Structure formats: structure tokens, C-alpha cells
Amino acid sequence: MAVPIPLPVVFPPLGPDLTAAVIDWQNWLSAERRASPHTVAAYGRDLAAFFTFLTPYRGGIPALPDLADLQPADFRAWLAQRTQDGLSRPSIARALSTLRGFFKFLERTGRVENAALKTLRSPRLPKQVPRPLTESDAVATLSTAAELQEEPWLAARDVALFSLLYGCGLRLGEALSLRVADRPHGDTLRVMGKGSKERIVPVLPLVRDAITAYLAQRPDGSPDDSALFIGARGGDLNPGVVQRQMRRLRALLGLGERATPHALRHSFATHLLSNGGDLRTIQELLGHTTLATTQRYTQVDTGQLTRVYQSAHPRAGKPQGG
């Protein structure tokens, strides 16, 4: 009979010590990490699948001492089984991230120490052309971003950054090049784009408030000459860290592999255009040199693009003279 866990996830039979550890871990996710029930359940399913593999693999009901004895080859066997089960690389990467988080919890609470898991590399994810998120997925990305960080100020940083990408349509490089002195004080933000071309973009109150909340929590006092977004150890935030967090988010939320930081900018343009935004205004907000670039960049139905184009282009629908 499966061991009951106080969440909608069914685990295989586990030793009493391991059962208690799993329950404590789930409670920690909910209370300390403030993870949503959806998040806790997703992590739980990954962990339950690992224990389901481990039971026949080790020939008995898993207990804490079994986890301490696992070798790199054992974890690789589990990853191989996940691949044979037909899991995609993003799903396997998420499962591995879940397992690492659980083992880190066990080590932090003095239950189990096992360095073997740290020797495994996450599956390399395929590079895909960004596609826009749905409006609901974009909102879910912003609301869930904080759940992936243990430090409150890092959680606030990620929310502020993703809000800026989606709410203002910035490129990741543009956002990471901002200094604290550049932060929005009013309704606009000055951005330095490609080719050192400067543009002014409007800032929603939600975005401005997210940046203000993050800066208030920064441990270094947020000096004006420092980068607006910094890493955990100080210094400019590495774009690879942002991309990694986005990979974790899309795996957690079940988003497609093309959900990248750049896809948030893509979504900003697409959602504005699909809701009747002026094409030339969107071109200026994105910092595109030509209107043609904006047309290729956004993904809307032909009829909608035609209607917006006809209202935006001064010669649309007019006879062309010789």
C-alpha cells in the first residue's frame, strides 16, 4: 500500500524515516519557500517517480540509508530509465533539479549527505526560436518566478527582471545593462538598445513596484553606479543564470521549450498587437529600425496584422501613382 503524503501525489512504500523526510520537505516548500500547491505537487511527482524506480532497482523499500549509499552510476541508471519512459529532455532536467533540491534539503537538515548527485550534468536542452507565451502563461511566469529562489531578495530580483522583460519588451541584454541610477522613477524608462540607439519606454506601475521592492531588499544597499540586476555574489547578473531560471520555470509550469527570456519580449509585442496596438508604436517600443522587422517578429493572424497595418501605414489602401 502506498504511503500517504498530505498532497495529491501517491508515493510508493517508503521507510518511516524517508516518509518523514518527504513530508518535512513538502512542508518546507509550502511554508518556507511559499511554493504553490501546484509547484509542490509537481516536485512531488518527480520525487515519487524516482522512488518508484529505486524500489525494484535496490530490491526493497527505500529508506534514508539507501539514499546515502547511491553512486553516480545509480543516478545515471535512473536518468536512462526516464529517457526510456519517453520523457522529454526538459522534463528530465526538471526531475533532476527536483532530486537535487530534495537531497540538498536532506543534507541541510542533517539526514543524508551524498555528493554523487552533484557529479551529474543536466541534459542539454535544444535551442529553439522563441515563440510568444499566452497571456495566462506570461502571468503565471511572473507569479511563479519567486518560488525558485530561497533568498527573498533573489526571488524579488527575478520577479522584477521578468516583469521588466514582459512589461516593457526589453531584450535581456538591455535589462542587464541597466544601472541602479537608470531605474524608473516615474512612468518611463530610458533604454540603450542595439547600435547605441536610445529609446524611451513606458513603465507600468506593477513593473516599477517590482523593481522598487527588489532594490529595497538588496543586501548591498543598491548604490546608483552598480548594475540594476546583480548575481547572488554581487556583480552584474550573468544572462546564463536568467536563462537557467527560465528553463526551470517552463519545466515547472509545463511551458514549451521555446519559452525563453527573449520570448517574454516577444510576448509583449504579440499581446500588444493582438489587442489592437499600433504597429508603429510597437516598433518604437521594441527599438526596431524598420517596420518590416516588427511584422516578422510578432505572431498574429493575417487579418489582425492587415487591420493594424492599414490603420498605421500612411499609404495603406491608397492607390499608388506613377
Dihedral sign computed on CA atoms, order 63, 64, 66, 70: positive
Active site residue 166: no
Catalytic residue among 43, 166, 214, 297: 297
Catalytic residue among 194, 197, 296, 313: 194
Active site residue 309: no
Catalytic residue among 171, 179, 199, 307: 171
Catalytic residue among 218, 248, 265, 266: 265
**Percentage helix, strand, coil, to 5, in the chain?**
60, 5, 35
Q: Torsion angle of alpha carbons 141, 147, 148, 150, nearest 10°?
A: 150
Task: Read off the C-alpha cell for 149.
Answer: 529562489
Catalytic residue among 33, 82, 157, 288: 288
Active site residue 183: no
Active site residue 171: yes
Q: Measured between alpha carbons, how far is 31 from 7 in angstroms, rounded to an integer?
A: 14
Amino acid letter, residue 197: K
Active site residue 262: yes
Catalytic residue among 262, 280, 307, 309: 262
Q: Which of 184, 71, 63, 183 is nearest to 119 (CA)?
A: 71
Q: Which helix (H) or strand (E) holds 82?
A: helix 72-84
Active site residue 89: no
In a 10 Å sphere around its CB, with 0-12 CB exposed, 13-18 middle and 19+ buried, how is residue 92 labelled? buried
Q: Which amino acids are annotated catalytic?
A: 171, 194, 262, 265, 288, 297
